Structure 1
Amino acid sequence: MGSPGVKDGQESLARKYFVVTAVVLAYWTVSLSMVFLNKYLLNGDTLQLDAPMFVTWYQCVVTVVICILLRIIAIQIPQLVSFPSVTINISTTLQVLPLSLVFVGMIMFNNLCLQYVGVAFYNVGRSLTIVFNVLFSFVILGQKTSLPAILCCAVVVAGFFLGIDQEKESVEISYKGVLCGVLASSCVALNAIFTKRVLPIVDNSVWLLTYYNNINACFLFLPLILMNGEIGTLISFPYIGFISFWAAMNFSGVLGISIAYVTGLQIQVTSPLTHNISGTAKACVQTVLACLFFQQSKSYLWWLSNGMALVGTGGYTRVKQLEMKKQHEENKASASMNQPPTSKV
Structure 2
Amino acid sequence: MAPRSTEERSRMDGYMKVFTAVAAYWIFSIGLVFINKYLLSSDELKLDAPLFVTWYQCLVTVFLCLGLSFLSQTFPKAISFPQMSFDQKISREVLPLSIMFVGMISFNNLCLKYVGVSFYYVGRSLTTVFNVVCTYLILGEKTSGQAIACCFLIIAGFFMGVDQEDATGSLSISGVVYGVLASLCVALNAIYTKRVLPSVGDNLWRLTMYNNLNALFLFLPLMLFSGEFGEVIYFPKLFDIVFWTVMTISGVFGFMMGYVTGWQIQATSPLTHNISGTAKAAAQTVIAVAYWSEVKTLLWWISNAVVLFGSAAYTYVQKKAMDKKSSLSNKPLDRRPLMSTKVEEEEV
What is the one-letter code of the residue matched to 2:95? L
What is the one-letter code of the residue matched to 1:271? S
Structure 2: distance between partners of 1:49 and 1:295 = 24
Q: Which runs of 4+ in 1 moved over 4 A?
A: none
The farther-off stretch of 104-113 and 235-244 is 235-244
Q: Are 1:183 and 2:176 an aligned pair?
A: no
Match of 2:98 among 97, 100, 103: 100
Match of 2:268 among 267, 270, 285: 270
Q: For residue 80 of structure 1, report the CA deviation from its aligned partner.
A: 1.5
Structure 2: distance between partners of 1:13 and 1:158 = 42
- Structure 2: gaps spanning 5 or more residues: 332-348
Match of 1:139 among 117, 137, 140: 137
Match of 1:258 among 253, 256, 259: 256
Q: For residue 332 of structure 1, report the CA deviation from its aligned partner.
A: 2.1
What is the one-letter code of the residue matched to 1:283? A
Q: For residue 330 of structure 1, report the CA deviation from its aligned partner.
A: 1.4
1:302-345 Cα offsets, whole Å, 9 max, x none, are: 00110011000000000000011011111229xxxxxxxxxxxx
1:71-123 Cα offsets, whole Å, 9 max, x none, are: 11101110111222222100000000000000000000000000011000001
Match of 1:148 among 146, 151, 161: 146
Q: Which residue of 2 aligns with 1:337?
A: none
Q: Which residue of 2 aligns with 1:317?
A: 315
Structure 2: distance between partners of 1:243 and 1:94 = 36
What is the one-letter code of the residue matched to 1:136? C
Structure 2: distance between partners of 1:175 and 1:244 = 32
Query: Across the two proteins, how many residue pairs are aligned to each other?
Result: 331
1:157-198 Cα offsets, whole Å, 9 max, x none, are: 000000000001112311111011011111111111111111
Match of 1:119 among 109, 117, 120: 117
% identical aligned pairs: 54
Q: Which residue of 2 aligns with 1:286?
A: 284
Instruction: List aligned pairs for 1:222-261, cutoff 5 A.
Output: 222-261=220-259
Match of 2:163 among 162, 165, 168: 165
Structure 1: distance between partners of 2:321 and 2:106 = 33
Q: Which residue of 2 aligns with 1:40?
A: 38
The answer as to whether partners of 2:111 and 2:179 remain within 8 angstroms in 1 is: yes
Structure 1: distance between partners of 2:197 and 2:323 = 24
Structure 1: distance between partners of 2:68 and 2:52 = 24
- Structure 1: gaps spanning 5 or more residues: 334-345
1:190-235 Cα offsets, whole Å, 9 max, x none, are: 1111111111110110000000000000000011111110111112
Match of 1:67 among 65, 68, 79: 65
Match of 1:19 among 6, 17, 20: 17
What is the one-letter code of the residue matched to 2:197? L
Q: Which residue of 2 aligns with 1:336?
A: none
The answer as to whether partners of 2:73 and 2:83 remain within 8 angstroms in 1 is: no
Q: Which residue of 2 aligns with 1:87?
A: 85
Structure 1: distance between partners of 2:289 and 2:170 = 16
Q: Which residue of 2 aligns with 1:342?
A: none
SS across alignment from 1:324: helix
1:245-295 Cα offsets, whole Å, 9 max, x none, are: 000000000001100100000000100000010000000000001001111
What is the one-letter code of the residue matched to 1:242? D
Q: Which residue of 2 aligns with 1:56?
A: 54
Q: Which residue of 1 aligns with 2:335?
A: none
Structure 1: distance between partners of 2:83 and 2:8 = 41
Q: Which residue of 1 aligns with 2:126?
A: 128
Structure 2: distance between partners of 1:230 and 1:161 = 32
Structure 2: distance between partners of 1:323 and 1:235 = 53
1:106-159 Cα offsets, whole Å, 9 max, x none, are: 000000000011000001000001100110111011111111101111110000
SS across alignment from 1:73: helix
Question: Which of the pair has more CA radius of gyration?
Answer: 1
CA RMSD of aligned residues (A): 1.3
TM-score w.r.t. the length of structure 2 is 0.93
